[in-house]
């Protein structure tokens, strides 16, 4: 059979099994991955015979996708901020809306000389590593409670030739005690456990719960980070979060209570309040 015919079969299978808007493109991406060729190369080969030695592997990748496994967990690749990230099921798949957070932080950091940035709960490293990649004069530290996530963030840093980051495994600020930063950024787990059943199968059944869920209506990690952030921020340091739907106003209230000023909320392309940034008004002594 021709490559084109097998792609049409795969498209149908993905269309039936998932709610993907782009089943045809997904069928191609899986084949590009299996054959290790570019999109351009695949298009030239469309009317060639399907290489039989790859047929079983391709069929099983298509079946995995059709049964709900996210594409990025099959190809182990997700682009974020135009950079390639390796992902597996121990880290959240980077989302396009998180790029808004990164862009805000880069804008803030450009006004600071040699900015130091802490990314809490880095997962694949997409936030911290993108900042390090686009701001060569920054010094970026990343933390995650999951050793598997830290291993992946390190692997991504290596692929992106980023050599000067600091990686810490531990809970929130615990591994950076005594350090201070110009900017603290986080996209913490913000889905309330009660919302679990409203999530698409791709998310609920495949992405790591530790990266998705926060107690107290999804506000648990914001509360913890905001309450402690000033101990780890320089004078007039910045705190920047991604937030879930309806959370931005709660997060900005919490920031106000803890003495943050110049609170700014940025909407995503769907009009959802997605990013909250603020400035620390005074420095408190570091408590341990």
Please, what is the Cα angle at 38 between 32 and 44, to 5 degrees?
Answer: 95
Residue nearest to ligand GLN (CB): 123
Interacting residues with ligand GLN (CB under 6 A): 92, 94, 98, 121-124, 126-127, 187-189, 211
- When the beta carbons of 23 and 125 are compared against ligand GLN, the nearer one is 125
- When the beta carbons of 66 and 212 are compared against ligand GLN, the nearer one is 212
Give 210: exposed, middle or buried? Use CB within 10 Å, 0-12, 13-18, 19+: middle
- When the beta carbons of 152 and 279 are compared against ligand GLN, the nearer one is 152
Identify whether the C-beta of residue 284 lies closer than 8 Å to the C-beta of residue 176: no
- When the beta carbons of 23 and 218 are compared against ligand GLN, the nearer one is 218
Identify whether the C-beta of residue 125 lies closer than 8 Å to the C-beta of residue 85: yes
118: CB partners within 8 A, 6+ apart: 140, 141, 142, 143, 176, 179, 181, 183, 184, 185, 232
The least CB distance from residue 69 to ligand GLN, in Å, is 18
The least CB distance from residue 124 to ligand GLN, in Å, is 6
Give 93: exposed, middle or buried? Use CB within 10 Å, 0-12, 13-18, 19+: buried
- When the beta carbons of 185 and 255 are compared against ligand GLN, the nearer one is 185
Q: What is the Cα–Cα distance from 86 to 77, expressed in whole angstroms?
A: 5
The least CB distance from residue 278 to ligand GLN, in Å, is 19
- When the beta carbons of 237 and 244 are compared against ligand GLN, the nearer one is 244
The least CB distance from residue 181 to ligand GLN, in Å, is 16
Q: For residue 37, how many other CB atoms are within 10 A of its CB?
A: 14
The least CB distance from residue 212 to ligand GLN, in Å, is 7
The least CB distance from residue 178 to ligand GLN, in Å, is 23
Name the DSSP letter for residue 281: -
CA separation (Å) from 224 to 136, 144, 186, 218, 252?
30, 15, 12, 12, 14
Give 96: exposed, middle or buried? Use CB within 10 Å, 0-12, 13-18, 19+: exposed
- When the beta carbons of 115 and 189 are compared against ligand GLN, the nearer one is 189
133: CB partners within 8 A, 6+ apart: 81, 83, 160, 162
The least CB distance from residue 85 to ligand GLN, in Å, is 9
């Amino acid at each position: 059979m021709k490559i084109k015919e097998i792609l049409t079969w795969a498209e149908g299978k993905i269309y039936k099994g998932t709610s993907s808007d782009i089943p045809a493109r997904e069928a191609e991406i899986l084949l590009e991955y299996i054959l290790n060729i570019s999109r351009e190369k695949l298009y030239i080969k469309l009317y060639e015979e399907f290489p039989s030695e790859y047929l079983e592997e391709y069929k099983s990748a298509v079946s995995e996708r059709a049964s709900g496994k996210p594409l990025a967990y099959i190809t182990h690749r997700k682009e974020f901020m135009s950079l390639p990230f390796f992902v597996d099921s121990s880290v959240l798949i980077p989302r396009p809306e998180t790029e808004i957070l990164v862009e805000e932080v880069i804008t803030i950091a450009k006004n600071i000389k040699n900015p130091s940035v802490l990314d809490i709960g880095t997962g694949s490293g997409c936030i911290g590593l993108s900042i390090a990649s686009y701001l060569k004069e920054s010094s970026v530290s990343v933390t995650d409670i999951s050793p598997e996530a830290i291993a992946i963030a390190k692997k991504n840093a290596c692929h992106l030739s980023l050599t000067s980051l600091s990686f810490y495994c531990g809970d929130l600020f615990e591994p950076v005690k005594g350090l201070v930063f110009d900017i603290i950024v986080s996209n913490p787990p913000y889905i309330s456990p009660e919302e679990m059943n409203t999530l698409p199968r791709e998310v609920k059944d495949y992405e790591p719960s530790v990266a998705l869920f926060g107690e107290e209506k999804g506000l648990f990690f914001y509360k913890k980070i905001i309450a402690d952030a000033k101990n780890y921020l320089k004078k007039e340091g910045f705190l920047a979060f991604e937030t879930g739907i309806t959370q931005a106003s709660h997060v900005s209230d919490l920031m106000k209570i803890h003495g943050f000023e110049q609170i700014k909320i940025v909407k995503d392309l769907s009009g959802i309040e997605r990013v909250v940034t603020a400035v620390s008004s005074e420095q408190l002594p570091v408590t341990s």
